[in-house]
Amino acid sequence: MASTLNRPAGRNITPGSARLGIDLTSVRVEVPASSLGLEGEARVRRYQAMRSQLLPGETLLTAHHADDQAETLLARLARAAGSSALQGILGLTPWPPGHLWRPLLPLPRATLADYARIHALNWLDDPMNSRNDLERGFLRQRVLPALTERWPDFAAQAARSAVYLEHAVQAELAQARRQLARVQLPAPGVLSVDALLALADADVSAVIRLWLQTLLLPPAPARLLDELLRQLRDGSTNLHLGHTTLQIRQYRRVLYAFEIDPPREWPELWDGREPLATHTRCELVASEPFTKPLQVRQRQGGERIRIHARARNQELRDLFQRHGIPTWQRDVPLLYAGDTLVAVGDLFQSELWEAQVGPARLRSRPRFVGSC
């Protein structure tokens, strides 16, 4: 019962072959220590790996079943999830660059296991599912069997409840989309704090959840949404909320959301041939290699750069403030040719850039979908 990619007929298929998918059971990921925990980080890495295999317009099929749905609803109830989360695992959902489809959701795990045994199908059992010290394993080994003993069709009924709730969620979602459109600013992915404060509390939470979803960011737990609403209503000008890698901040009455990575060490020299990772899940990319390697330094404060030939040297702090760059976006690599600062990430370039480096141009891009 492995996940597969549903590739449209005619793409990457050997003539005469009937294969319409690729087996992902061989995909392996490294799971580092994380504030998400072993299960949470493994889930994130697994989906990142599968998404990396997806081509535009394709659909990823997973073998989630009714028991998975019941476990998910129980886990979310324990974390005080909102109505959008309590609709459970969705059957078909947009998943750029394609879609994610779980066609087996209505079926109990036992039914699928019986079918697989009768037809001699092979599948992999995740050893983490048998560990009672992990959330999913505890629910599967201890909680769900007890509920099923009392209510034999518990998993199927929970799946039906998720379907019923989806209708209410869709109505809420339609309203949240309209309100999100009203509070969004022309700059991509940011919200007006003043427009948000004109909404009712419940609507603010719904808009924030939808906003994070459209940005392909992790969902915010209920307690973070409550604290966000409290700080917004209190007029906090130093709003800075975080949950694991998710960050929500305010700057000049504008609300931002993004993911961060732990601080990383930059190489001493960079020649533009490979991307240069930054601290905000982005990477700096050069359009072509430099004529000579540049030194990469961390911002210390007091650095100055001359952008135009007739302009004076300007301190970076003044440039950041003048251009309205939020404080957390200022931790970018500084590129030096000798002792001369020639670029501040992809934000500012010196008038000496081309003379020192050549025609290469810099830009930032996400290191994976949903980041940066």
Instruction: List, in order of start, the domains of the chain with CATH numbers.
Output: 4-147 (3.40.50.620), 269-366 (no CATH)
| CA angle (70, 73, 77) in 5-degree steps | 140
Pairing of strands 98-101, 4-6: unpaired
How sure is the predictor about 23, in pLDDT bands with cuts at 50, 70 and 90? Answer: low
- More confident of the two residues 292 and 169: 292
Predicted confidence at residue 114, as pLDDT, reads: 93
Ramachandran region, residue 311 (left: φ > 0; alpha: ψ -120 to 50; beta: rest)? beta
Predicted confidence at residue 13, as pLDDT, reads: 28
Distance CA 299, CA 261 (A): 18
Distance CA 304, CA 326 (A): 18
Distance CA 113, CA 102 (A): 16
Long-range contacts of 132-137 (CB under 8 A, 24+ apart): 134/38, 134/39, 135/39, 135/75, 136/39, 136/71, 136/75
Predicted confidence at residue 191, as pLDDT, reads: 96
- More confident of the two residues 261 and 104: 104
Distance CA 288, CA 272 (A): 7
Distance CA 99, CA 311 (A): 50
Q: Which segment of 104-118, 260-274, 351-365 scores lowest on mean pLDDT?
A: 260-274
How sure is the predictor about 328, in pLDDT bands with cuts at 50, 70 and 90? Answer: confident
Structure tokens that stand for 108 in this block: 């109990």
Distance CA 47, CA 62 (A): 11
Quick check: 258 and 280 in contact, CB under 8 A? yes
Average pLDDT, the chain: 82
Q: Is the pLDDT reported for residue 6 higher than 50?
A: no
DSSP 3-state assignment of 293? Answer: coil
pTM to 2 decimal places: 0.59
Which of 242, 246, 243 has the alpha carbon at shortest distance from 258?
A: 246
Q: How many CB atoms lie within 10 A of CB 199?
A: 16
Q: Can you list the alpha helix ranges (DSSP code H) found in the chain? A: 37-52, 66-78, 83-86, 109-118, 135-138, 144-150, 154-183, 193-197, 201-214, 222-233, 316-322, 353-357
Residue bearing tokens 């022309």: 186
Structure tokens that stand for 303 in this block: 């650095």
Over range 225-250, report the average pLDDT.
88
Residues sharing a CB contact under 8 Å with residue 218, sequence separation 6 or more, in sequence order: 44, 212, 243, 244, 245, 246, 259
Predicted confidence at residue 217, as pLDDT, reads: 84
Distance CA 153, CA 158 (A): 9
DSSP 3-state assignment of 197? Answer: helix
Predicted confidence at residue 29, as pLDDT, reads: 63
- More confident of the two residues 331 and 207: 207
Residues 330-340 have pLDDT tens digits of 888 999 999 99
Reported as type and span, the H/E element at residue 249 is: strand 246-251
Residues 24-55 have pLDDT tens digits of 556 666 666 655 667 777 787 888 888 888 88
What share of the chain in percent tops pLDDT 70? 84
- More confident of the two residues 265 and 83: 265
